[in-house]
Every structure is written in C-alpha cells, then in structure tokens.
Amino acid sequence: MRFLVTGGAGFIGSHYVRLLLGGGLTPSSVTAVTVLDKLTYSGNRANLAPAQADPRLRFVEGDICNARLVDELTAEHDVVVHFAAESHVDRSIQGAAPFVLTNVLGTQTLLDAALRHRIQRFLHVSTDEVYGSIAEGSWTETWPLEPNSPYSAAKAGSDLIALAYHRTHTLDVVLTRCSNNYGPYQFPEKVIPLFVTNLLDGRKVPLYGDGGNVRDWLHVTDHCVGIHLALTKGRAGEVYHIGGGVELTNLELTARLLEACGANWEMIERVADRKGHDRRYSLDITKISEELGYVPSVDFDAGLAATVAWYRDNRAWWEPLKAKADPPR
C-alpha cells in the first residue's frame, strides 16, 4: 500500500511515519510512504532522520493548498493520512488567517484530489478541541461541535468538510479526534516540552490562570496506533475518539514536571489566562475500543519520564528550535 502522509515532518505525523516504516503498526503492508510537508516553523526534517535511510520514504516540501502538487501526489498513492494543520491555540488568537487557510482550504484541496483519483481511504486527524469545553462526563462522537478558539473552529470546519465529502460523494473518509499528545520530537511551544526545556535551562515556566484547566494526556505512540486502527479497520464516514485516559489539571501536570526535572515551585511564573481558555476536555473512547480493539498502552508516569529523558538527551534537536522560534506575544 502506498501512503501519502501530510504534515509528516511534524510531531505526530513523523512519529506515525517512523512507526509505519519501522513495523510498529499492524496490520500494514507498506510499499511507499511520501511525506508532504510545508516545513513551517514546527515542521522539521530532522524528525524523520531515524527513517531517512528507508528506500520506501520520499519527502516532498510543499503546501497542501497547492492544488497541482497535491493532485500529482495523490494520483500516485492509495491512502491519504492527513496530519497537516496549524495547531497552536495561542498563535491562532494572534492571527487566525493561516489556520483557516491551511486547516480548511488545505483540507478541501486534498479532498478534491482524493475524490478525483478515488483514493481507497482518506484518514483525517482532528482534535477534541472542536467540542469546546465540558464540565463533567465525556464527549461521544455524536456530540455537537462548539469550538471556542480560531484554531479549533478551523479544525471543526475541516472535520465537517471531510465528512461532507463522504456523504455527498461517497468518498471513503474516516475521522479521528484525539486528546492532548505528548512524547519525543514535540515542538517546544506546547506545554510539556516548553516546561521541560525551560526547566532544563533553569528558566521559569508560565502557568495560565489558576492552573485548574483539565486535559486528558495521550502518548503519541498510542495516538498513532489508534489512527492506524481507524485507517485499516474503521468504518467509512465514522468518527473515532482516541484518548489516553489520564486527566490532570495543569497544576497537577506542572507538579509532575517540576519533580521530573528536579525543580521547585519557585520556578513557576503565574501568567494571565488565555482568552477563551477551555476549562476541561474529556473524550469517551468506548467506540474505538469496542469496534477496533484500541486500548492505550503507555503508562503516563513511564511515558512522561521517558519524554523528559529524551529532551534531556537531545538538546541538539530542541535548542536551535527555541533559539529561532518567534513565540506568540
């Protein structure tokens, strides 16, 4: 099977590619993997270095909004696994245009090409943030979408377009929505790598508001396993939730990161809360568990310790990224 992986030089996409080529995802018969990535600030070819010697891997630098390029590449593949997206909430608050352009128009461009060439399956990767915030209980896949940030609104738009192509054109589309990911190679603007790399450098870390916002934490390997199950076994036109089953407040997460890095609470800098900050996310994963056999397997404490160790041991990867990054103001 020939895979076109968009955003495959990013955090989650590159992990998927490494697992796919390394035999860590089953069932799969992989004859070719093409990564299409624009290499924006968070895309990094170094993320694919462990797989670069594999003759099945091809890298193409390009934009998913480039209809001609997308059409040419789609024609050569059997399935599309669509990770490419602008994904940082803070950046979307400062400027929403790139999020709408990439997440909505880019997805539509890919879907048009997939339809022309009757791709066997289009797997669209999304997020729990499209649901907004939930005070108690957990979202099922039929929950109404109520996004609160420009990022999540753009992702919700891409979700609806993808599902519409299935319903209107019978294109084989499957959609996944995940909770917060963590693991190696995550760009150091997200909370876990930001806090870890700051603490390793003896710098303070910013904690939003009262630290009471709740997130479910999912190791990137478990996420990729869930994606591949949905790709290979999921039903066309369906949405599947992929969660980790570990709910923590940001304050609880911060305590664990401080301990892991040998730091104390003096390293915390309280900052004003984010605009429209969702209070709590929680996905019900019953559907993917019962239908496809998904069970998160990475213990959070072990996964977090391994993640901290990876950043400690791989300064050569993240130091240049932090040095040149232009964080949102």
Calpha distance 172→183 (Å, rounded):
30
Ordered by start, the domain boundaries in the chain are 2-181+219-242, 182-215+246-278+299-324
Q: Which phi and psi (to 5°) does residue 50 adopt?
A: -60, -20
Q: Band the pLDDT of 327: cuts 50, 70, 90.
A: very low
pLDDT in tens, 233-292: 999 999 999 999 999 999 999 999 999 999 999 999 999 887 878 899 999 999 999 999
Q: Which of 63, 129, 216, 222 is an active site residue?
A: 129
Q: Could you tell me which CATH number the domain at 2-181+219-242 has?
A: 3.40.50.720
Pick the CATH number of 182-215+246-278+299-324 from 3.40.50.2000, 3.90.25.10, 3.40.50.300, 3.40.50.970: 3.90.25.10
Instruction: Identify whether 72 is a catalytic site residue.
Output: no
Calpha distance 227→225 (Å, rounded):
5
In the block, tokens 């035999």 appear at 23
Instruction: Identify whether 151 is a catalytic site residue.
Output: yes
Q: Which of 37, 63, 86, 128 is an active site residue?
A: 128
pLDDT in tens, 105-146: 999 999 999 999 999 999 999 999 999 999 999 999 999 999
Q: Which of 131, 151, 240, 281 is an active site residue?
A: 151
Q: Band the pLDDT of 89: cuts 50, 70, 90.
A: confident
Calpha distance 314→329 (Å, rounded):
27
Instruction: Identify whether 128 is a catalytic site residue.
Output: yes
pLDDT in tens, 150-200: 999 999 999 999 999 999 999 999 999 999 999 999 999 899 999 999 999
Q: Looking at the predicted structure, is the pLDDT value of residue 47 above 90?
A: yes
Q: 244, exposed or middle or buried, with CB in 10 Å at 0-12, 13-18, 19+?
A: buried
Residue 172 near residue 166 (C-beta atoms within 8 A): yes
Q: 202, exposed or middle or buried, with CB in 10 Å at 0-12, 13-18, 19+?
A: exposed
Average pLDDT over residues 43-66: 96
pLDDT at 41: 83
Report percent pLDDT > 90 for the chain: 87
pLDDT in tens, 284-315: 999 999 999 999 999 999 999 999 999 999 99
Q: Looking at the predicted structure, is the pLDDT value of residue 329 above 60?
A: no
Calpha distance 119→122 (Å, rounded):
7
Q: Which is nearest to 115 in space by CA: 160, 84, 161? A: 161
In the block, tokens 């997308």 appear at 70
Cα three-residue angle 13-112-225, rounded to 5 degrees: 25
pLDDT at 42: 84
Calpha distance 78→32 (Å, rounded):
10
Calpha distance 107→212 (Å, rounded):
34
* Virtual torsion, Cα 297, 162, 141, 187, nearest 10 deg: 40
Q: Which phi and psi (to 5°) does residue 52 adopt?
A: -65, -20
Calpha distance 52→58 (Å, rounded):
8
